[in-house]
Amino acid sequence: MFTRTKTRTVHFDAPFTLTGLEGVHPPGDYQVQDDEEQITGISWLAYRRVATTIEVIAGKKKSLVHIDPSDLDAALDTDRGLSGQKSLNTTH
């Protein structure tokens, strides 16, 4: 089965928390990776997301932590509401 990883940057204007991450994380830009696998048996090319991770830094250590993408979307929506702006969400 063919898999691919899409990387994007998300921005938080305020401190945030996510299920799966310990504690409160500072505002800033965070790299998010979505792993997708190709759906076979159909006549067009399609993928489904199978995992989402966010890169967090604790001291000198960088970690990729598995998160629920709907929790990330909710945290970004909350952040937009607090800042009154649209958050940066780009794909690389």
pLDDT digits (tens, 9 = 90+) for 78-88: 999 877 655 45
Q: 73-80 — which CB contacts under 8 Å span 24+ positions?
A: 75/12, 75/16, 75/17, 75/18, 76/10, 76/12, 78/16, 79/12, 79/13, 79/14, 79/16
CB 28 within 8 A of CB 12: yes
Q: How many CB atoms lie within 10 A of CB 63?
A: 11
Whether 58 has a pLDDT exceeding 90, the answer reads no
Inter-CA distances, 21 with 35, 44, 53, 62, 80, Å: 19, 37, 11, 13, 20
pLDDT digits over 43-54, tens only?
999 999 999 999
Entry pTM? 0.80
